[in-house]
Amino acid sequence: MGGIAVDVKNEIVTKVKSGEKVTELSKLYGVSDKTIYNWLRQKVEGSISLIEHSKVKKKNGQLKQIIGVLTLELEKTKKKRRDIFVLVKEKLPFLPNMLLASVFGFVRRSG
């Protein structure tokens, strides 16, 4: 940030997001347009918390396990989705039912 107050930086980013031109704001605030674009990129990329990262990493691992089991079983024999669902649930009982249902395309029907 190098000397630009956080509130000024946020003000500039907000103005850009509301439609003001970066070149005009650059001249008005005495900040290079490259610096403003860097701020915008940082806001877009953002950062995630360690907890969110862990959750995504865990879910990704679970999905990889599902894919692995499915691939092996589909190579052995052609089975119906429900049979594969039961098989995956038996081999990976810790996986949430909702996750498996979404992977297999099962939806709840309202009564």
Model confidence over 19-54: pLDDT tens digits? 999 999 999 999 999 998 888 887 765 667 788 888
Tokens representing 62 are 């679970």
Q: Report d(CA 89, CA 111) in Å as an integer.
A: 25
Q: How much is the average pLDDT of 48-75?
A: 86
- Report field, pTM of the whole predicted structure over 0.75: no
Cα separation values, 10 from 5, 17, 25, 36, 71, Å? 9, 10, 12, 10, 49
- Kindly state the DSSP code that residue 31 receives in the 8-state scheme: -
Measured CA to CA, the distance from residue 56 to residue 50 in angstroms comes to 10
Please check the confidence at residue 80 and state whether its pLDDT lies above 80.
no
Lowest-pLDDT choice from 13-17, 86-90, 105-109: 105-109
Residue 73, H or E segment: helix 50-76
Q: What is the largest CA-CA distance in the chain?
A: 69
Token representation of residue 82 = 């429900």
CB 22 within 8 A of CB 36: yes
